Amino acid sequence: MKIKKVDQFQKILLLIIIIYSILVSIKNPAFLHFETIFDIIRTSSTTMIVAIGLLVVMISGGIDVSFMAIALFGSYTTINVMIALGIDNLGIAFLFSGMIGIGLGLINALLINWLKLPPFIITLGTQNLYHGVMTTFISDKSFGAGVLPECLHEFGQGTIFKIVTEDGAVGLTISLVPVLLIGIATWLILYKTMIGRGIVAIGNDEESARRAGFNPFKIRLFVYAYSGFLAGIMGIIYVAQINALYPNKLVGNELMVVAAVVIGGTKITGGQGKIFGTILGVTIIYLLNSTLILIGLSSSWNNLFVGAILVVSVAITSYQERIKNRSHLIFTE
Amino acid sequence: MKKIREYMNRDLNLSILVTLTFAIFITLRIIIGPSLLSLNNIQSMLFQVPEFGFLALAMMLSNMVGGIDLSIIANANTVAIFTAYVLNGQLSFGTDGAARIILALIFAIVCSLLFGSFNGILISKTSAPPLIATLGTMTLFQGIGMAVTGGASVGDLIPEFSMIAKAKLLELPVIFWIFLGAAVIVGLVLTYTSFGRNFYLYGGNPVAARFSGIHNEKMCISTFLLTGLLAGIAGIIILSRVNSAKVGYGDSYLLQTMIVCVVGGIDPNGGKGKVQGVVIAILLMQVMSSAFTIMSLSPYTKKLIWGIMLVCVLGLNHIIGNYSEYKKLKMSMKAKA
Amino acid sequence: MEQILCVKNLSKSFIGVKALKEINLSINKGEIHCLAGENGCGKSTLVKNISGVHTPDEGEIILNGNVYHSLTPYQAMKEGVQVIYQDLSLFQHMTVAENIAISKLSFEKKKIVNWKEIKKIAKEQLDRIGVSIDMDQTVGELSMANRQLTAICRALAQDAKILFMDEPTTALTKKEVERLLKIIVELKKKGLAIVFISHKLDEIFSVADTITIFRNGEKIGDFNSKDLDEKSLSHYMTGREVEYPRYHRKCKDNQPIMEIEHLTRKDQYEDINISIRKGDIIGLTGLLGSGRTELAMSLFGLNKTQSGCIKVEGKEVKINSPMKAKEFGIALLPEDRFHQGLFIERKIKENVSSALVNALSNRGILNRKKEEKLAEECVKELKVRTPSIDTIIGTLSGGNQQKVVIGKWIATKPKVFIMDTPTVGIDIGSKAEIYEQIHKFADDGMAIIFISDEIQELMANCNKIVVLAEGKCVVTLNEDDLNQEDAAQKISNLISSGENTEIKEAM
């Protein structure tokens, strides 16, 4: 299949990003420095990963708000074990944390399948459950840079290449590599494997998917496990970036990721959503996050802008859908 | 005995909830000892109930129309912030003393109704899914609060205002009486008025409601006006209790309100549930919360317990639901035979 | 001839109701077979047993010589059983090519998607039935006819040996049906067995070899299509010696109660003129998408009109919401009972009062005594079979549910009652009772618009029939026209052809 053309919605997002960037760089040329751009890439890379995981969940018609707790659970537990056993291997960190993520994701899927209730409520419950289990039964201590495995520190500081500017050398973070890998892997899964088509199919219509020979339960297991796996990976990268281990980070930021994915054009009703759109959605949020200061506003204005963009985009897309449905005499509410 | 059984069968969920509450209550009483039931402790519990209770009522209403209102806490905090500006003189328009408090209250009510109507109009006019729409407005309301305060807490209120939270009537906090009054009013409205009936119908099947000539847009907007108002009142109480306002206060309430609704027998898909259940669940929650404080559990452990509780109650509901469906099926078979 | 499917003594019951009673059936290779019967007679249930959706209580299913007591959907497909459901089960946001190929790939337990292969499969199947549809379009953008063809291609792609089609022609125009039938005859020649499930037989008659008639869960018999005509068929289907009693208008008041003049909404219907008097039962018929439901929704304020006007009792009115429609005395029994008509988890009395909540209230307080009285009356008048008015409506049978929805609107005392396919999914007993009630309402002076695609039903209940095709009013038949012997045949021709030739001359 030829790569799908960038659709209308993504064009608009892209346009917003470009226009905003131009405005910012006119107001404050510092924006165009590599330093700023590389910094945005670095800070947004972790969110990109979980956003892609959430995208897959939302394409299947579900939602997940427990991924931050999973990320924390996975990375915190893994690194704790590594410190205790003196292991210093990045591969093991990713593997172990990812496995924990898969396990917790599977629990989500099983609960959703069993209880047949809105996944939002269930994953809100498991979010607290996972975080509570971790802090109660594993540990709730913080670890500074000194005790963390050296490999994490290296990875967090690692760069793909460096550019020398007047202010010194700035590098493009190596965290971009896993993001790209995950983006490509997810694209392959969604478009090149049957399970990916199954995810899109159950998001379109679960009953039809069942008739077409898909097993919605298995697909759901995969979807939430995949989201959990990505969360586990993200947790390690996050710890590496901030170079410290806290038991209370990440959790509480999941709704911002949901917002990013929705801004990226993904429908909560399922069946629709694109990786590129999600990347644009995350980019918009982080662009605002790190450039408001450049145009003379404090970062406190961040939520206001994100909220406004979200409300406007939801209002427009829902309204279009409603007009279309009404003209076909479909009443959804 | 037969009557009791009949009654229990009629409202299985509520009966189970009451039994459960008693069981937990007695267990906690045994573990903790008499200090749980000291007047002091009861007062301090009831002192904490209202702010959370009003938010739970708001969540309940939005759940009953099949949506989750994520914006209630942001609404409460932002209303509290604006009200705080009136009370500390920055926005008081030259009033002082009682006049300033009244102005502040009016300001808070208007502000919360504005937020509520914004939600209602957004959802009813664009058919946006409530969860996503209120995620947007939550971020927006938070954003307004952040932009105004820069993230700092707003304090320096005139001292008379905190009297609202401290006042007592018949040994119990006035704000608790206000909460109880509000719950009773909401309960009566839902049970006995035409609005209440339309509300249940709209929540149960909005499409059929539209085809029955029920004014869906009006129902949706009024529902979110009400949730907005209840959240705003919660904001006033928070302000009066804490004596300052800031963005991000009470973030954990989102989960807790959701638990209370689920425990109280509200169907998150809409159209089902009663205020009684939610009020009992709120009290249960508060007793547990106080017990945890007495036992000096860490906030993390509390989180764990809330998480377990939500999942367990959902599971229990599911099993009970299957059971009563089976019963219904048996009954309808009997009727046919 | 080689037998593909044989069903022996198959029985199935739901909640104590026998849906199928000891069915025997055999279907051969290269045969076009039709399962006929009224709604709710068990024909769809039988198909679901064969395709593995339901498990039979008793009996066996023999496919290609293999004996099964129960099947999984996967086994059924492996034996070459393919079902095209009425809702087609297509994926709206996926392309045509993918829709065609996906089931095949999924049943072959493929892991990797090869888009070239998908295109190849889709192209093969489209060529096989000789149609060209843009394969890169999403199904959401297709016409109903092309969706139908996409669904057929999907079934063929899976190596179907026996293809069940549930009501395949409801949404198609005459030309599209002809094309479909041509394709089906071609498939038959290639050795496929094709089974139609239908309650309307006009076109299928022409191609079917054998017709099996069902009534009330029982098989009445197998017939050669040449031995049946409309009349004997409907006799077998309904099991009545006489047809349903004809309605004759008794009301003397000839003032129109509602006039529809030049009513138009682009792409849905145009220039509709209908005048309705008290006691009229006006049949409104046409294919799905012919504008019948669209028009009904407009009269009830759920679908904006663009030009023309609606007059109620001589005064022009603007109906822009169901609230307004209710005010003007217009009621609508919606087509989709489950989603649009019922509050499935609420009590009967709450359903009955749902359109009258405000009227039953005094200063905002609901009068529960009045509500209960209203519900009691409704249950009595419409003969709803229920233990009490406090019963949850979801536990009633389809027929009784429909009676409650009718009762809810009767309680509003409407002047004009629009009934959109009021007998879908309803057992024969309830059907007769509902007809009887409708006649009574009309005798009492109510005007009724009766939307249906069952011609027998229209002939029995209406004193005037309006036929729509592609949004245009093709013909209006009044009582004299309906008395002519071949009226039913003509209507059925008109519905699907969209051309008004013969009747115009006859008028």
Q: B131–A268: do the CB atoms touch at under 8 Å?
A: yes
Asked if C164 is an interface residue toward chain A (Cβ–Cβ < 8 A), one would say no
Mean pLDDT of A158-163: 81
Asked if A1 is an interface residue toward chain C (Cβ–Cβ < 8 A), one would say yes
Residues whose CB is less than 8 angstroms from the CB of residue B67 and which lie 6 or more positions away in sequence, other chains included: B123, B129, B130, B131, B134, B270
Residue A3 has pLDDT above 70, yes or no: no
CB B115 within 8 A of CB B232: yes
Q: Which residues are bridge partners to C61 per DSSP?
A: C7, C68
The residue extents of the domains of chain A are: 8-327
Q: A208–C340: do the CB atoms touch at under 8 Å?
A: no
With beta carbons under 8 A apart, name residues in chain B contacting A322: 126-127
Residue B322, CB half-sphere, CA atoms under 13 Å: how many?
8
Report d(CA A15, CA A7) in Å as an integer. 12
- CA proximity to C223, closest of C239, C236, C211: C211
With beta carbons under 8 A apart, name residues in chain A contacting B314: 111, 115, 117, 121-122, 125
Q: What percentage of residues in chain A have a pLDDT greater than 70?
A: 98
Residue C498 has pLDDT above 60, yes or no: no
Asked if B22 is an interface residue toward chain C (Cβ–Cβ < 8 A), one would say no
User: Between B335 and C503, where is the model more confident?
Assistant: B335
Asked if C115 is an interface residue toward chain A (Cβ–Cβ < 8 A), one would say yes
Residue A307 has pLDDT above 50, yes or no: yes
Q: What percentage of residues in chain B have a pLDDT greater than 70?
A: 92
Q: Following DSSP, what letter does each residue of A155-222 receive, concatenated? A: HHH-EEEEEEETTEEEEEETTHHHHHHHHHHHHHHHHHBHHHHHHHHHHH-HHHHHHTT--HHHHHHH
Lowest-pLDDT choice from B23-27, B140-144, C410-414: B23-27
User: Crossing angle for the helix pair A216-242 and A194-204, nearest 10 degrees?
Assistant: 110
Mean predicted lDDT score pLDDT of chain A: 88
Report d(CA C342, CA C351) in Å as an integer. 7
Task: Give residue C40's pLDDT band: very low, low, confident or very high (50, 70, 90).
Answer: low
Give B42's DSSP letter: H
Q: Which CATH fold would you assign to the domain A8-327?
A: ABC transporter involved in vitamin B12 uptake, BtuC (1.10.3470)
Task: Give residue A242's pLDDT band: very low, low, confident or very high (50, 70, 90).
Answer: confident
Terminal-residue alpha carbon distance, chain B? 29
Q: B207–A332: do the CB atoms touch at under 8 Å?
A: yes
User: Between A73 and C15, where is the model more confident?
Assistant: A73
Provide the token pair at B156.
Answer: 């320096």
Q: C96 to chain A nearest CA, in Å?
A: 13
- Name subunits touching B (3+ CB pairs < 8 A): A, C
Q: A131–B307: do the CB atoms touch at under 8 Å?
A: yes
Report d(CA C102, CA A78) in Å as an integer. 40
Task: Give residue C448's pLDDT band: very low, low, confident or very high (50, 70, 90).
Answer: very high
Q: C91 to chain B nearest CA, in Å?
A: 21
Q: C106–A212: do the CB atoms touch at under 8 Å?
A: yes
Alpha helices in chain B (DSSP H): 2-10, 12-32, 39-64, 72-87, 97-126, 130-149, 163-166, 174-192, 194-204, 206-211, 216-242, 253-263, 275-294, 299-336
Residue B37 has pLDDT above 80, yes or no: no
Q: A307–B210: do the CB atoms touch at under 8 Å?
A: no
CB A286 within 8 A of CB A16: no
Most confident of the following: A111-120, C7-16, C489-498: A111-120
Task: Give residue B7's pLDDT band: very low, low, confident or very high (50, 70, 90).
Answer: low
Residues whose CB is less than 8 angstroms from the CB of residue B168 and which lie 6 or more positions away in sequence, other chains included: B43, B174
Mean pLDDT of C382-387: 85
Q: Which residues are bridge partners to B154 per DSSP?
A: B245
- CA proximity to A120, closest of A223, A252, A258: A258
Report d(CA B157, CA B162) in Å as an integer. 8
Lowest-pLDDT choice from A197-206, A314-323, B5-14, C310-319: B5-14
CB A194 within 8 A of CB A53: no
The pLDDT value given to residue B14: 74
Report d(CA C164, CA B58) in Å as an integer. 51
The pLDDT value given to residue C489: 75
Residue-wise pLDDT for A20-52, tens only, equals 889 888 888 888 888 888 888 888 999 999 999
Domain C244-329+414-507 has CATH 3.40.50.300: yes
Give the number of A-C residue pairs with CB atoms closer than 8 Å: 68
Lowest-pLDDT choice from A213-227, B74-88, C391-405: C391-405
The pLDDT value given to residue C220: 84
Structural domains in chain B, CATH included, are 40-296 (1.10.3470.10)
- In this structure, which CATH number among 3.40.50.300, 3.40.630.10, 3.60.20.30, 2.60.40.1120 belongs to the domain C3-238? 3.40.50.300
Task: Give residue A301's pLDDT band: very low, low, confident or very high (50, 70, 90).
Answer: confident
CB A144 within 8 A of CB B316: no
State how beta strands C58-63 and C3-14 pair: antiparallel
Mean pLDDT of B5-26: 73
CB A298 within 8 A of CB A63: no
Q: Following DSSP, what letter does each residue of A21-59 receive, concatenated? A: HHHHHHH-GGGGSHHHHHHHHHHHHHHHHHHHHHHHHHH
The pLDDT value given to residue C15: 63
Mean pLDDT of C85-110: 86
Asked if B12 is an interface residue toward chain C (Cβ–Cβ < 8 A), one would say no
Q: B137–A311: do the CB atoms touch at under 8 Å?
A: yes
Rg, C-alpha atoms of chain C: 24
Strand, helix or coil for residue A139: coil
Give A269's DSSP letter: T
Q: A271–C92: do the CB atoms touch at under 8 Å?
A: yes
The position carrying tokens 């009425």 is: C86
Task: Give residue B163's pLDDT band: very low, low, confident or very high (50, 70, 90).
Answer: confident
Q: C457 to chain B nearest CA, in Å?
A: 25
User: Between B129 and C140, where is the model more confident?
Assistant: B129
State how beta strands B172-173 and C3-14 pair: unpaired
Fold identical between C3-238 and C244-329+414-507? yes
The pLDDT value given to residue A2: 37
Residue B154 has pLDDT above 90, yes or no: no
Asked if A196 is an interface residue toward chain C (Cβ–Cβ < 8 A), one would say yes
Residue C17: phi, psi to the nearest 5? -100, 125
Residue C260, CB half-sphere, CA atoms under 13 Å: how many?
22
Residue A263 has pLDDT above 70, yes or no: yes
Report d(CA C311, CA A167) in Å as an integer. 79
The model's pTM is 0.87
Rg, C-alpha atoms of chain B: 21
Residue B119 has pLDDT above 90, yes or no: yes
The pLDDT value given to residue B89: 78
Q: Pick left, alpha or beta for residue B125 (phi over 0 → left; psi -120 to 50 → alpha; otherwise beta).
A: alpha
The residue extents of the domains of chain C are: 3-238, 244-329+414-507, 344-413
Mean predicted lDDT score pLDDT of chain C: 83
ipTM: 0.88
Report d(CA C10, CA C24) in Å as an integer. 7
Asked if C345 is an interface residue toward chain B (Cβ–Cβ < 8 A), one would say yes
Report the b/e string of A1-24 with b at 16+ CB within 10 A.
eeeeeeeebbeebbebeeebeeeb
User: Crossing angle for the helix pair B299-336 and B275-294, nearest 10 degrees?
Assistant: 150
Mean pLDDT of C356-385: 88
The pLDDT value given to residue B1: 54
